[in-house]
Structure 1
Amino acid sequence: MKNEKTFLFLKDHSVSGEQFELIYNQYEGILETHPQPQVEELSKYYESEDYISHTDTKQNLLEQLYHLVRKISLKRKLKLINYYLRRQDQSFKPTRRLLDVGCGTGDFLKIAQNDDWRVIGIEPNINARNIANQKTNNIVIEKLEDYKDLDNKFDVITLWHVFEHIHDLDNQINLLKPLLEDKGTLIIAVPNYKSYDAEYYKSFWAAYDVPRHLWHFSQNGIKQLLEGFGFVCQKTLPMLFDSFYVSLLSEKYKRGFMNPFMAFWIGLRSNLKAKRSGEYSSLIYVFKKG
């Protein structure tokens, strides 16, 4: 039975088939998955061959599309961090330092490393971490608490589709903030439950991805949360490919097959509507440390 705190009932389509609900959080514009698995239970919900960010396989259409989009996105991410480093009010530094939280198999770290960034990655999944370390000469560690070199702060910290997975958001922000240089840049990319594709697919929207996604953000919600910790939102940018990829997976959940033509149409409509509303399927938020 739906109560005043319930936003939506839905299930885990990709792993367990268990039922969950999305409930309103204390922050307006943030939803939380209920019930949330305990930290020690979360790993079992990632035990699926369909969890692409933890592997480098290209066995089917979805995986091939994911890697094609990722290749394009990596170049755009690198361009973005270089742009915001140049905008920081700081004297010339001989080194540029990047922390990528939830780095997966390390492709973004590798492309940044090749561009002369000094990089560190955080990745709790052991299989993904091993792949990342093979690519980057062992600069990926398991968790943020393991980073001890507090004298060497980072110019840029990134969380690409990771923030929604973090169990204790307040604690994570408190850990990240001291690691960032004064006026450093924090970049967070998350799905946007206010988008048209989310509205269209409702409980079948793949970007809800419960219970792996513990939190679900609107633009107002994530800005309110980070501003409470002294960050200032400098820019909000769209991730245009996400509406197509998410719609393709949502079609699979809704109809039992991917239906690429319908997925393309919904993804396109979502992006066209977002040109006016700004509510793209996924958004990149660029925060400046105050």
Structure 2
Amino acid sequence: MDKELDDFYAAYPDYGSLSPLTIKRYRELLQNFEPFRKNNRLLEVGCGHGAFLELARQEGWEVTGTEYSDKSIGVIRSKGITVYQGELDPSNFSQSSFDVVLSLEVIEHVRCIEQEATAMTQLVRPGGLIYLTTPNYFSLSRRILQANWGVLCYPEHLHYFNRTSLRKLFDSAGTRKLGVATTGISVGRLREGWRKRHRPTDYRPFVNTTYNEDQQLRSRIFSNAFLEGIRIVLNTILTITGLGDTLKGRFIKPEN
């Protein structure tokens, strides 16, 4: 499996510069982290090319990351950001030293998820926040597409979660749940799954598409206050029903 993963991530795509919408969402996320800011230290597990960490550093955070691929490590270090290569190893850090530990669309790639959740819990301070996102196996998209759901991709994705399994994973690691939202529906993934089912010769994995329908749709919503309001209502419904494409988990390390 190690060679499979090495080969896969060596060819992982570069998504280029951040869109204005992604920057806006990242800044909103950083604003949500402010109540947990005490030691001013933030760790991102699986930080890619370090785009989120760059924005966090601009907001005054002392940032650190972990990443897998050689290519990404080089890019991150060129930005002057401290990064450790490979899977999260708590021995590289002082225990209970981070206000926030986050991991965006990463835990589904990890081989030992119990070890990962425990390590994240060890590294966040008592009263600190663990925030992570991952695809939702109980999403409406997966129910519609079934075996053609683009997230079902080996060796890229090794684990799949719903709200209950994600909560239980971090409960067992010793955290307390603040909430697990399920938001968004990827039009791009729905279209790709439809192509895969009906025109398999035209199918291209979502991760390699050059035309990102989701990004264009999000940009239109971002620029229209009415559509943004509809998005908020839709995400509320998706969270209540548990049918959104993305799980967004917030877990706190108890102080006692």
The answer on 1:46 being equivalent to 2:30 is: no
What secondary structure is seen at the aligned counterpart in 2 of 1:105? coil
The answer for unaligned runs of 5 or more in structure 1 is 1-37, 59-66
In structure 1, the residue matched to 2:31 is: 82
Deviation at 1:133, TM superposition (A): 2.1
- The DSSP-based 3-state class of the residue aligned with 2:68 is coil
* Larger strand fraction of residues: 1
Matches within 5 A, 1:1-290: 38-48=1-11, 51-52=12-13, 55-57=14-16, 67-68=18-19, 71-86=20-35, 88=36, 93=38, 95-135=39-79, 137-143=80-86, 144-145=88-89, 148-150=92-94, 153-240=97-184, 243-254=186-197, 255=199, 256=202, 274=238, 277-290=241-254
Determine the C-alpha separation between the residues in 2 that align with 1:125 and 1:188: 20
The question of whether the paired residues in 2 share the 8 Å contact of 1:99 and 1:154 is answered with: yes
Q: Secondary structure at the match of 1:158?
A: strand
2:129 counterpart letter in structure 1? T
Q: Distance in 1 between matches of 2:48 and 2:98?
A: 19
When you count helix as a share of all residues, which structure comes out higher? 2
The 4+ residue runs of structure 1 with deviation greater than 4 A are: 257-261, 270-273
The RMSD of aligned alpha carbons is: 2.9
CA 1:81/1:57 → structure 2, altered by over 3 Å: closer, same or farther?
closer
Consecutive unaligned residues in structure 2, runs of 5 or more? 205-210, 218-230
The DSSP-based 3-state class of the residue aligned with 2:92 is coil
Task: State how far apart, in whole Å, the 1-side matches of 2:107 and 2:44 are.
Answer: 12
- Could you tell me which amino acid in structure 2 is paired with residue 217 of structure 1? F
Q: Is the 8 A contact 1:81 1:156 kept in 2?
A: no
Report the number of matched residues.
Answer: 226
Question: Percent sequence identity over matched residues?
Answer: 23
Q: TM-score, normalised by structure 1?
A: 0.68
Opposite residue 243 of structure 1, the aligned amino acid is S
Give the superposition deviation at 1:226: 1.0
Give the TM-score normalised by the residue count of structure 2.
Answer: 0.76
The alpha carbon displacement at 1:141 in A equals: 1.7
What do the CA deviations read for 1:73-121 (whole angstroms, capped 9, x no partner)?
A: 34323323432441x4xxx84x511100000111111111111111001
